[in-house]
Amino acid sequence: MNKNSKVLALKYRPQIFRDLIGQDVLVETISNSIKANKVPNAYLFTGIRGVGKTTTARIVAKALNCKNGFENLCKDDFCENCEAITNSNHIDIFELDAASQSSVENTRELIEFSRYAPTSSKYKIYILDECHMLSKQAWASLLKTLEEPPEYLKFIFATTEIKKVPITIVSRCQRFDLSRIKSSKLLEFLKKIKEKENGKVADDTLKLIVKMSEGSVRDALSLLDRGLLTLKNNQELDLKSAQKIFGNFDKSQLIEMFVLILKGEEKKVIEIYRNIYDQGIDPKVFLNDFLELIYYFKNIDSLTLENTNFSLNDEEYLKIKEISKKIDNRVLILYWQFTIKTLDELDIVSNQNLLIEMFLIRLMFLSGVKQKDNNLNKNTITEKFDKNIVSDFKNDTINQIKNVTQEKKIKPEIKTEVKAEGKNLINTFKQLLSICSEKKELKLKYELEKNVNLVSFEKNRIEISFNDNLDKNFVKDLSLKLYEWTDQRWIITLSKIKGEKSIKEQVENKKKDQIEAAKNTKLYKDVLEKFSDAKLIEITNEISEKE
């Protein structure tokens, strides 16, 4: 294949150790071990995608088998061995995809072939990519060979999920953790590639590519390749065009939206979001960028422009720094928690776009900062936050759900302890179950008894935890009924605290205790003597033990 026809990720793939970027410790250690002729039986390379695991494995194979020796390792004018290794067709270098060859039979074949010495090189080398996909049986069959292989046999494992590799294997390998490539080094590398390709790409665009690649060289080169392919007639790839191509959006829009959320400008917030959505931005990407922005608002004073990993330009950095002085940190922390929760909800909602819009509206009302004068005032935010949020945000509460029908205006005198005329007064969980029976709300009673764990029960406030079987409409239904029965607003709070056992569990535990107690009675023992296979299933009457 013509080198110029290759994609950039393959065209500029490192061929020698010197070409690897951002992996200085690895290069130095492996080079020293080869020079000292202390090559381990097996290498294990782990790290995120696109940082050079498979590339490093091939370079090691070349370094061990190059006909010119390690000191004169081929770079451009390849020897016979290096050429074959580069093209993945060397007779003594086996590259195996563990994802497709994960069975114990494949491993046994590998071990069988390892019995024979290399044909045309010094070492026979097995490179297992994505090795975490191997089955437990396959790993077990490799253990002995891996620990004491023939002198001519070397293993090189590569994986993105080191935790899935058995510890017995890891302990038999020389492990190297390939780090993410630092933003500054990756930016410098992309500038060199841009010049070699004679591409006109703005520095801001390269910074965007670095940010989106998240430290992966392959991802960065793929994005650059994609951007260069869109250029026409010496046109420069500027930031605006790149954002459209890569499905990214201008961070300044998000900053503007954040300020409007704090002011309670619902119409403008939704308008900006819809504009962002129309640009083709995935809702998950939007939420992750929103989280990133919250982080910057919270920690901007301890960061420099370089610390932001090219996520912000000078203007955005200064703007965030100025605005952050007017925002209470507790509001930011609460926003962070609700954004994380919304990320979890994305997979259970069919229309993710609507979920994001409701998320933004919810944020505006969450901290109680919606103001008619639209002024962003720190004191007002703090005061309203304290009154509306902090008092209810306790005991690791993870959610607070209020039914919209409860927002009706209630006269102050209703808050008195005196029972309202014609209405019920509910002060305990037991009273709640009783009124459910009285009102024939059997489904509601069933949920309360079987799927709910009570944490606390106070006046007009119930805090619970629940199991996976709880009906999705339970909170709404209970809120409506409580308002109907008491003519008062109730707050149903979902908590991380486990709480008491459910009523059903309590009944079952009591039944088990009674059965265990009955098994110690003389009557039960007498029955077993005559009927050895008898089993005690249920107790209908109180049994008193009499010897």
Tokens standing for residue 405: 């029908």
Residues 172 and 189 in one domain: no
Name the token pair of 401: 């759900």
Which of 476, 495, 514 is the last residue before a domain boundary? 495
Q: Is residue 391 part of a domain?
A: no
- The total number of structural domains in the chain stands at 5
Q: pLDDT digits over 74-91, tens only? A: 877 888 888 888 888 888
3-class state of residue 173 by DSSP: coil
Secondary structure of 423-434 in HEC code, one letter for each residue: CCCCCCHHHHHH
Q: Is residue 473 predicted with pLDDT exceeding 90?
A: no
Q: Which of 7-11, 95-99, 402-406 is the least confident region? A: 402-406
- Averaged pLDDT, 126-133: 90
Query: How much is the pLDDT for 4?
Result: 62
CATH of the domain at 57: 3.40.50.300
Give dist(CA 436, CA 474) in Å, integer.
13
In terms of phi and psi (left: phi > 0; alpha: psi -120 to 50; beta: otherwise), the region of 233 is left
Supply the pTM of this predicted model.
0.59
Cβ–Cβ under 8 Å, residues 93 and 125: yes
The confidence score (pLDDT) of residue 390 equals 37
How are strands ordered across the β-sheet holding 397-401? 397-401, 491-495, 461-466, 452-458
Per the structure, the complete domain to which residue 484 belongs is given by 405-495
Residue 311 lies in a domain: yes
Domain-terminating residue out of 246, 266, 291: 246
Same domain, 541 and 456: no
Statement to judge: residues 448 and 546 lie in one domain: no
Q: CATH number of the domain that 477 lies in?
A: 3.30.300
Distance (Å, rounded) from C-alpha 474 to C-alpha 492? Answer: 10
The sign of the torsion formed by the CA atoms of 282, 283, 288, 290 equals: positive
Same domain membership, residue 151 and residue 86: yes
Q: Among 246, 267, 285, where does a domain finish?
A: 246
> What long-range pairs does 77-80 form, CB within 8 A, spacing at least 24?
80/120
Other Cβ atoms within 10 Å of 467 Cβ, number: 11
**Which residue type sits at 294?**
I
pLDDT tens figures, 367-408: 554 333 444 444 444 444 444 433 343 333 334 333 433 444
Question: pLDDT of 208-258, one tens digit each?
Answer: 898 888 889 999 999 999 888 887 777 888 888 888 888 777 778 888 999
Do 105 and 169 lie in a common domain? yes
Centroid of chain to Cα 449? 34
Q: Give 415's contacts (C-beta < 8 A, 6+ positions apart).
A: 488
In a domain, 390, yes or no: no
Q: Find, among 339, 300, 306, the residue nearest to 319 by Cα.
A: 300
Task: Give phi and psi for 402, each to the nearest 5.
Answer: -120, 140
DSSP string, 133-149: GS-HHHHHHHHHHHHS-
Does residue 13 form part of some domain? yes
Residues 426 and 317 in one domain: no
Q: Cα(438)–Cα(484) distance, rounded to whole angstroms?
A: 14
